[in-house]
A and B are shown apart, each in its own frame.
Chain A
């Protein structure tokens, strides 16, 4: 579904050029659950942002559903983004001024979904994620775990082709973190494609495949065992 070839990203400042990504090759198939790990500054978030079309690459090729993304204009990127990609952030990135319901509904509005259908879909997803009783609340009134559930709901509402999660448990305690990871595993089991950036080996162990990045290149890649070692926490 996603094919990345020779992707590079260079940050330029007045004095120096820094290569954040230097020649990344990556293949993500439908139904994959992939983790990216690596030390701070290795380029994993940059890669995620480029895949999420929030950032642009300097060179190389990135195809999503056989469509070349590099060189796409802002308008095209926003339309690909809203139809294909769901985001989950470390700090949730919910809009404080909107209620939970309104936050979840937002992607549907940008996708021109009819109001009546929006309602049904928001309610359905809220039920699935067990936040129906929170729909009228505002983000500030929820716990971190609940906020991340809302963010997940928002990421899923549009049935995206791929879910991009940037350290989804980074701001959560272990109990809430676990819940979120189980949620993602569950989604994966139901066929969702997920790409997750994480620092935590534990979180990564939920995924099928982990790639390790260092200094802008893919350092190693390994397949994970599906069994979870609960004593490793």
Chain B
């Protein structure tokens, strides 16, 4: 039986080479898309899955009024949590990694993921301990635990346990080597326990460190949450009110309302309200978009398959009729056609795996991940995809074919049967709708990304590089560190300006990569405002072409500008609502500063967010020069490469330990919306795929439908219809379907794209143009496909169809 089936399957494969190939290709592209999306999905959902504590470990997030939630929690929460019977243990930790080198026996290894935590870290993140033990791994501030690959890099085949290393300017003893079992929200290369020196200070600040708590019963977490919220909104407010001499009610009004969230580790990756773990959070929205688009594409290719299979079935009606007469049952026919679908799907899955394997490096690069085609979970899903594809694509055509009435079929004239046309046309309309969605959607995404990259950012960074600056730790151990560092920086600046091609150098405690979201309280007229504060050196605004709206810039000739001058941006001016701002006083970091000028707003955070209110002062105004960590250098536009080479030469004398690195400021900023540029690219790619699949479906369906109408066309021709009339008649229905599909897609595309645009503080409004262009493009493509097919049909020999059918 199977042999007979395979023979006829191969015969049809050979007969319809092009359609068979396109069918397999379409299905495999659909399956490949789904495989890609699934790998991404699995990877994101595997975060912390391995961790047995994922449901009992919570991170505490605090949100003040309408500012974004933060994972920095106060230390004054500890006594209350210690008394809470539901809390098993708590841990303060950094929410970022530090970078440094580990020195062992004079050998240096750079490590970029060192985390500072408390002693009980391994009970929150029970990594697999390979050497040493978890309990004593971080017992004191001279203990360090390292990951297995770092152990290999630093110690080779030596046993690291008990060995002394130097790191972060301290001596540590290696007490454990661990292996991280899977994706983890905290996945450090080295773990140290030096929170004590930090937790000893900052006792009273409302925002300090990341706080993780492990509870006995996750269901009772709400009680803990309430008690913490009360600490903020009641105890804390009363205390600061007393200090500042206000009533608690006044103070509460000034500061705002605190909301506390408790978030289990299991939700940390994809459903976190703040980007608060060092490994960052996943983009759940993008994950969903990828997932649904890939499912949509697979549906589209399955629809094509069904359409082609049922249309083609008419050509096989006679075969089915004969089979039935010689004894095949209905079930037999169904099995035969499902068997064919299984073969086609199998080819498609194999081809899909090849496609995935070949394009995986690009995909990994795109997602910045390291996905591989492995894993039991993935194989199970692949089998599931295969089964679902076979069922959805196979059952319908099989039943359709098996229902042919034997007698009708054998009497001939079945070719013009109307069976299944409604369904095929319905699916065609669906394809038109999806294609419309993609054409319009990708055009809007394109417009938005284009808008972001062309937007006047308020600064020009194409000739300005930022170079990270590291001073040796000894420089921070002198008296008056700020002055010392400032002097060293000044010397570097002077040396830099001697290099040919360097126009200017300056510094500022700011970065354009969107990472800086610190907030400083500023008082104006006794009112508290939460703004960003940036300390900088002279000349930075000119270098970056940042404009001054009112007043004047900082002036190195005026001594007061390093003592009590401040500039604010337009947003800050609006926020504080200062009339005639010049010469007004505000209080920043307990200093009375006089406003000398208003800076025109410029983008600092990613374009998703609005320009924050910012105050600017000179590095020396507030003694903060010790934090200098980079130099901005403006270059002449010609011969930039050469200039950079010369800067690098000079830099090796400045910073002997770290390799020279630089970044153009505009590129640094562009990275803040890199994700969206990638989304645009993938959307464009999917657009091509979807339109390709939809047009193929249209082409195939039109071919079959016109084939079916050949006799009608011949009769019409005999009655005197000329080519133009026939073309009109043949294409009319498809144009109608195209319009219906277009109309169906209008609302979803408008709604969903609007939702997507809501991500951006600076966004385009959806205009009529994408819709017009989408409509014209779709219509044009449809007409090309249909008319080419119809034109062929009108050229046929009329006699053939009038005579012999």
Show the binding face of A for B, using Cβ within 8 Å.
45, 49, 52, 54-55, 74-75, 78-79, 81-83, 87, 89, 91, 93-97, 106-107, 110-111, 154
Give the complex CA separation of A80 and B799 in angstroms. Answer: 17
Instruction: Of the listed stretches B446-454, B543-551, B716-724, name the one at the interface; the rest are far from the partner chain.
Output: B716-724
Is B711 in the interface zone, CB < 8 Å from A?
A: yes
- Closest 9 A/B residue pairs (Cβ): A82-B720, A78-B722, A110-B720, A81-B720, A95-B712, A107-B719, A93-B715, A110-B721, A54-B798
- When distances are taken between beta carbons in the complex, the residues of chain A under 8 Å from B802 are 54, 89, 93
Name the interface residues of B768-805: CB closer than 8 Å to any CB of A: 798-799, 802-803, 805
B718 touches A96 (CB 8 A): no
Name B715's closest neighbour in chain A (CB-CB). Answer: A93
Give the complex CA separation of A175 and B719 in angstroms. Answer: 28
Give the complex CA separation of A52 and B798 in angstroms. Answer: 12
- When distances are taken between beta carbons in the complex, the residues of chain B under 8 Å from A87 are 718-719
- When distances are taken between beta carbons in the complex, the residues of chain B under 8 Å from A54 are 718, 798-799, 802
Q: Taking the nearest CB of chain A, how far is it from the CB of B804, in angstroms? A: 10
Give 1 or 0 for each of B674-716: 1 = CB within 8 Å of chain A CB: 0000000000000000000000000000000000000110111
Is B725 in the interface zone, CB < 8 Å from A?
A: yes
A110 touches B718 (CB 8 A): no
Is B649 in the interface zone, CB < 8 Å from A?
A: no
Q: A55-B799, A89-B802, A110-B725 are in contact. Are A96 and B416 (CB under 8 A)?
A: yes
Q: A55-B799, A74-B723, A110-B725 are in contact. Are A93 and B718 (CB under 8 A)?
A: yes
Q: A75-B723, A78-B720 are in contact. List 13 more A-B contacts (CB 8 A).
A: A45-B803, A54-B718, A78-B721, A78-B722, A93-B714, A93-B718, A93-B802, A95-B715, A95-B716, A110-B716, A110-B720, A110-B721, A110-B725
A93 touches B711 (CB 8 A): yes
Give the complex CA separation of A95 and B715 in angstroms. Answer: 8
- When distances are taken between beta carbons in the complex, the residues of chain A under 8 Å from B805 are 91
A54, A74, A94, most chain B CB atoms within 10 A: A54
- When distances are taken between beta carbons in the complex, the residues of chain B under 8 Å from A106 are 716, 719
A83 touches B715 (CB 8 A): no
22 contacts between A and B (CB under 8 A): A54-B802, A74-B722, A78-B717, A78-B720, A79-B722, A82-B720, A82-B721, A87-B718, A87-B719, A89-B802, A91-B805, A93-B711, A93-B714, A93-B715, A95-B716, A96-B712, A97-B418, A110-B720, A110-B721, A110-B725, A111-B720, A154-B719
Give the complex CA separation of A111 and B720 in angstroms. Answer: 8
Count class of interface residues, chain B: 20 to 34
Q: Taking the nearest CB of chain A, how far is it from the CB of B615, in angstroms? A: 77
Name A111's closest neighbour in chain B (CB-CB). Answer: B720
A78, A81, A110, A111, most chain B CB atoms within 10 A: A78
Q: Taking the nearest CB of chain B, how far is it from the CB of A58, in angstroms? A: 15
Give the complex CA separation of A55 and B800 in angstroms. Answer: 11
- When distances are taken between beta carbons in the complex, the residues of chain A under 8 Å from B712 are 95-97
Q: Taking the nearest CB of chain A, how far is it from the CB of B700, in angstroms? A: 21
Q: Taking the nearest CB of chain A, how far is it from the CB of B742, in angstroms? A: 26
- When distances are taken between beta carbons in the complex, the residues of chain B under 8 Å from A45 are 803
Show the binding face of B for A, using Cβ within 8 Å.
416, 418, 711-712, 714-723, 725, 798-799, 802-803, 805
- When distances are taken between beta carbons in the complex, the residues of chain B under 8 Å from A94 are 715
Q: Taking the nearest CB of chain B, how far is it from the CB of A158, in angstroms? A: 8
- When distances are taken between beta carbons in the complex, the residues of chain B under 8 Å from A96 are 416, 712
Give the complex CA separation of A95 and B712 in angstroms. Answer: 6
A110 touches B719 (CB 8 A): yes
- When distances are taken between beta carbons in the complex, the residues of chain A under 8 Å from B416 are 96
A79 touches B720 (CB 8 A): yes
Q: Taking the nearest CB of chain A, how far is it from the CB of B13, in angstroms? A: 28
- When distances are taken between beta carbons in the complex, the residues of chain B under 8 Å from A110 are 716, 719-722, 725
Q: Taking the nearest CB of chain A, how far is it from the CB of B582, in angstroms? A: 80
Give the complex CA separation of A111 and B725 in angstroms. Answer: 11
A81 touches B799 (CB 8 A): no
Name B724's closest neighbour in chain A (CB-CB). Answer: A75
Q: Taking the nearest CB of chain B, how far is it from the CB of A43, in angstroms? A: 14
Q: Taking the nearest CB of chain A, how far is it from the CB of B29, in angstroms? A: 35
Give the complex CA separation of A122 and B764 in angstroms. Answer: 59
Give the complex CA separation of A163 and B610 in angstroms. Answer: 81
- Give the residue of B715, B718, B723, B803 whose beta carbon is less than 8 angstroms from that of A81: B718
- When distances are taken between beta carbons in the complex, the residues of chain A under 8 Å from B714 are 93
- When distances are taken between beta carbons in the complex, the residues of chain A under 8 Å from B721 are 78, 82, 110
Q: Taking the nearest CB of chain A, how far is it from the CB of B175, in angstroms? A: 85
Give the complex CA separation of A78 and B416 in angstroms. Answer: 25
Give the complex CA separation of A96 and B709 in angstroms. Answer: 10
Give the complex CA separation of A81 and B719 in angstroms. Answer: 7
B719 touches A52 (CB 8 A): no
Name A155's closest neighbour in chain B (CB-CB). Answer: B719
B723, B725, B799, B802, most chain A CB atoms within 10 A: B802
B723 touches A82 (CB 8 A): no
Name B798's closest neighbour in chain A (CB-CB). Answer: A54
A49 touches B720 (CB 8 A): no
Q: Taking the nearest CB of chain B, how far is it from the CB of A89, in angstroms? A: 6
Give the complex CA separation of A96 and B799 in angstroms. Answer: 18
- When distances are taken between beta carbons in the complex, the residues of chain B under 8 Å from A81 are 718-720
- When distances are taken between beta carbons in the complex, the residues of chain B under 8 Å from A97 are 418, 712
- Give the residue of B715, B718, B722, B798 whose beta carbon is less than 8 angstroms from that of A75: B722
- Give the residue of A74, A79, A82, A91 whose beta carbon is less than 8 angstroms from that of B719: A82
Give the complex CA separation of A45 and B802 in angstroms. Answer: 12
A107 touches B720 (CB 8 A): yes
Q: Taking the nearest CB of chain B, how far is it from the CB of A180, in angstroms? A: 18
Give the complex CA separation of A154 and B718 in angstroms. Answer: 12
Give the complex CA separation of A62 and B725 in angstroms. Answer: 27
- Give the residue of A49, A78, A111 whose beta carbon is less than 8 angstroms from that of B799: A49
Give the complex CA separation of A98 and B803 in angstroms. Answer: 20
Q: Taking the nearest CB of chain A, how far is it from the CB of B417, in angstroms? A: 9
- When distances are taken between beta carbons in the complex, the residues of chain A under 8 Å from B711 are 93
Name B416's closest neighbour in chain A (CB-CB). Answer: A96
Give the complex CA separation of A81 and B714 in angstroms. Answer: 13
Give the complex CA separation of A190 and B802 in angstroms. Answer: 29
- When distances are taken between beta carbons in the complex, the residues of chain B under 8 Å from A154 are 719
Q: Taking the nearest CB of chain B, how far is it from the CB of A18, in angstroms? A: 16
Give the complex CA separation of A20 and B69 in angstroms. Answer: 91
- When distances are taken between beta carbons in the complex, the residues of chain B under 8 Å from A83 are 720
Name B719's closest neighbour in chain A (CB-CB). Answer: A107
- When distances are taken between beta carbons in the complex, the residues of chain A under 8 Å from B723 are 74-75
Q: A89-B802, A97-B712 are in contact. Are A52 and B722 (CB under 8 A)?
A: no
Give the complex CA separation of A96 and B715 in angstroms. Answer: 11
Q: Taking the nearest CB of chain B, how far is it from the CB of A1, in angstroms? A: 19
Give the complex CA separation of A87 and B798 in angstroms. Answer: 13
Give the complex CA separation of A96 and B416 in angstroms. Answer: 8
Name A94's closest neighbour in chain B (CB-CB). Answer: B715
Q: Taking the nearest CB of chain B, how far is it from the CB of A71, in angstroms? A: 18
Give the complex CA separation of A52 and B717 in angstroms. Answer: 12
- When distances are taken between beta carbons in the complex, the residues of chain A under 8 Å from B715 are 93-95
Q: Taking the nearest CB of chain B, how far is it from the CB of A93, in angstroms? A: 5
B718, B725, B798, most chain A CB atoms within 10 A: B718
Give the complex CA separation of A14 and B798 in angstroms. Answer: 22
Name B794's closest neighbour in chain A (CB-CB). Answer: A74
Q: Taking the nearest CB of chain A, how far is it from the CB of B48, in angstroms? A: 62
Name B712's closest neighbour in chain A (CB-CB). Answer: A95
Give the complex CA separation of A21 and B711 in angstroms. Answer: 26
Give the complex CA separation of A28 and B447 in angstroms. Answer: 71
Give the complex CA separation of A79 and B725 in angstroms. Answer: 12
Name B716's closest neighbour in chain A (CB-CB). Answer: A106
Name A86's closest neighbour in chain B (CB-CB). Answer: B719
Give the complex CA separation of A154 and B719 in angstroms. Answer: 9
- When distances are taken between beta carbons in the complex, the residues of chain B under 8 Å from A95 are 712, 715-716
Name A74's closest neighbour in chain B (CB-CB). Answer: B723
Q: Taking the nearest CB of chain A, how far is it from the CB of B95, in angstroms? A: 70
- When distances are taken between beta carbons in the complex, the residues of chain A under 8 Å from B798 are 54
Give the complex CA separation of A97 and B719 in angstroms. Answer: 16
- When distances are taken between beta carbons in the complex, the residues of chain A under 8 Å from B718 are 52, 54, 81, 87, 93
Give the complex CA separation of A83 and B416 in angstroms. Answer: 29
- When distances are taken between beta carbons in the complex, the residues of chain A under 8 Å from B716 are 95, 106, 110
